[in-house]
Structure 1
Amino acid sequence: MKTILTKKLKKTQKREAPKNSNKPRYISKAERAELEASVNRPTESQDLSE
């Protein structure tokens, strides 16, 4: 009986683990490129105006 309950407990904990993790959200390569480009654009426009 105890083994059955521990197996069920482990299953539920595995199911809930992703919700409770402190792991940062995955950012794809394309999103990183867009973010980098958007960060670089304002600095380039400032350089051109000076």
Structure 2
Amino acid sequence: MNRKKKINSILKKRLKKINAKNAPASKEKYISKAERAKLEAEEQTATDIEATAN
């Protein structure tokens, strides 16, 4: 592989990585099991408070 071609391929790889990082993510960010349980507990207490207020 000649020098120009190798440099161009390296630069293309870098551009491809940068574009992939900047592209919008197709899937949601991962939320751990403990974090989901904590969020669910907070939501549950919020609904309990609303139910008692009415």
1:12 corresponds to? 15
Question: After the TM superposition, which residues 23-34 of structure 1 pair with which residues of structure 2 at under 5 Å, given as runs?
Answer: 23-34=27-38
What is the letter of the counterpart of residue 41 of structure 2? A
For the residues of structure 2 that align with 1:30 and 1:21, how far apart are their CA atoms? Answer: 26
Aligned residue pairs: how many? 47
Tell me the TM-score normalised to structure 1 length: 0.55
> Higher helix proportion, which one?
1
What are structure 1's unaligned runs of at least 5 residues? none
Question: Residue 37 in 1 paired to residue 34 in 2?
Answer: no
